[in-house]
Structure 1
Amino acid sequence: MAYHSSFINEDISICNIALLPLRTTFKGPATKDADLKYDVIDEALYYFKANIFLKNFPIQSNADRVLIYLMLYVSECLKKMQKCLNKNQAFQEMHMLSNSTFSIPGDPDFPLNPVYAKPKNRIDEENLRGYFLQLRQETGMRLIEKVFENANCKPSKWWMCFCRRKFLDKSLAAPGE
């Protein structure tokens, strides 16, 4: 059974991807709402351990596309954190990963092009790239807090046991990375 996004009534979208408000300090096209108690990133982290085993994920709303992207990104983050010895090193790795070059729907190397709409113009492309960057930055920071309980500890084995799994048998990383 798949756990879907509860943010189904969101009307604003970019390329059939819901533009959801976030509890974040990072700049981007998503509305920043410090009063939010729960956002799509919290939802992705909460459902990650259950959804990671899925080979199929029927899309019920545009918010599910955000959830799918975040699930794939969390998998990439865990692969990077696996090599980190402490929280400070994880912060550096997550900063580098979130700001590294990444593909978006419509790019030939994006793993889920059939599920996502291609940007119609340059403005949509820039907004989508900015939204994904904002999601990546905030997700990495929140995941560090879950994986590393304090500054000098090693990563939690209860998170690291999922670092080799692939959600939907897909990866955001290019083959060989």
Structure 2
Amino acid sequence: MPAYNASAADLDGARLVGNFPLLPFRSSIRGPAAQPADPSIPDIIDESLQLFRANSLFRNFEIKTPADRALIYLILFIGDCLGRIAQARTWTHQDALKQLTTHSLSHFSLPGEPGFPLNQVFTPPSPPTPVEKDALRSWLVQARQETVVRLLERHVYSAADESTEGGKRPSKWWMAFSKRAFMNKRL
């Protein structure tokens, strides 16, 4: 059974930096990401949250479209966030939001740089101009921040989930995947 791929709904007109697409997504956070043409269609962040638990069980992933590279990156980032929540164990929703927002803004490696875990899947911009690197970094920062907000509010500390005790504890149904490493990689 193959892993689930991203739909390429928003791929039309998306700018590619190297082979990483800068896809549009809905966001309340300021940044370079364009708003989607149809806000009712799930964006790449919604897809990564929907497919995280299923895809985290796979070690192999076949890349069919450039949107799959964004999906891979966001799934790895979600796993990193869940790992940080699991390590802390005592974070409330507000503590997790503050810590993970700080983490999403902290320095991270881009494709092609030393320390990036998936340099065999992602190619750096060629030629690597500062404008291209800045565009990719700012898009990733905005996507990381939006992913943190949606992950915590809709899934990990959801008020509708009885296992969270009103947002005081993370959902055991999401925290069970904190030790899983998608494609045996971690950010």
**SS of 1:5 mapped into structure 2:** coil
Matched residue, 1:72: 76
Matched residue, 2:158: 149
**Contact 2:111–2:124, Cα closer than 8 Å, also in 1:** yes
Q: Does 1:104 align with 2:104?
A: no
Relative to the length of structure 1, the TM-score reads 0.91
Matched residue, 1:92: 98
Matched residue, 2:120: 114
**AA matched with 1:154:** R
Q: Which runs of 4+ in 1 moved over 4 A?
A: none
Aligned residues: 172
**AA matched with 2:51:** Y
Matched residue, 1:2: 3
Matched residue, 1:175: none
**SS of 2:123 mapped into structure 1:** coil
Quickly say closer, same or farther: Cα 1:96–1:57, change in 2 above 3 A.
Answer: same
Query: d(CA) in 2 for partners of 1:10 and 1:167?
Result: 27
Aligned residues: CA RMSD: 1.6
Instruction: Give CA deviations for 1:119-166 in whole Å, capped at 9, x if unaligned.
Output: 231111000101110110000010001100235420000000000110
Q: Which stretches in structure 2 are left out of the alignment for 5+ residues?
A: 160-165
2:47 to 43, 50, 67: 43
Query: d(CA) in 2 for partners of 1:85 and 1:34?
Result: 37
**Contact 2:17–2:124, Cα closer than 8 Å, also in 1:** no
Relative to the length of structure 2, the TM-score reads 0.86
Matched residue, 2:29: 26
Query: d(CA) in 1 for partners of 2:73 and 2:167?
Result: 30
Instruction: Give CA deviations for 1:36-64 in whole Å, capped at 9, x if unaligned.
Output: 12100000000011000111111001100
**AA matched with 1:171:** R
Greater mean alpha carbon deviation, residues 113-122 or residues 98-107: 113-122
Q: Does 1:62 align with 2:63?
A: no
1:164 to 150, 172, 179: 179
Shift of 1:34: 8.8
Query: d(CA) in 2 for partners of 1:113 and 1:25?
Result: 30
**SS of 1:70 mapped into structure 2:** helix
